[in-house]
Amino acid sequence: MTNPPPPPHSRSEIGRRLKATRLALGLRARDLHHATGIGESAWSQYENGRRFPDLMQMLPFADRFGVPLDWIYRGIIGAVPFDLAQRILAQLGTPADAAGATAETPGDGPT
């Protein structure tokens, strides 16, 4: 019997998404610190699931890099810009069609 996957809002899953997103953006923790003010140690703890990312610290990241908070906290990939979503899914090793990613941009209705 296998264990069910952790819920999308768990620290471990949020950390997994943050790491995949950072890598998809081609950034190091140091780059994030300079762009957002989030400390390298704090970011490492977020990525490793040891600490829950504070909303007030995620807002500058989301704004600066166009990463929706729904993706960070809930795992909803549909609002992520298409090109970035493809790179994130590649980092996660998830096929785009399996994750439900579409070419829609935020605000577009179903095609």
Give residue 6's pLDDT: 85
pTM comes to: 0.81
- C-alpha span between 31 and 79 (Å, rounded): 24
Rounded to an integer, the average pLDDT of 11-39 is 94
DSSP 51: S
Residue 96 has a pLDDT of 59
Structure confidence at residue 111 as a pLDDT band (50, 70, 90): very low
Give whole-number Cα distances, 100 to 1, 25, 34, 47, 97, in Å: 27, 20, 33, 23, 5
pLDDT tens-digit series, residues 50-80: 999 999 999 999 999 999 999 999 999 999 9
- How much is the pLDDT for 97? 53
Number of neighbours of residue 21 by Cβ within 10 angstroms: 23
Read off the pLDDT of each residue in 30-50 and give the average, rounded to a whole number: 92
Note the pLDDT of residue 4: 84
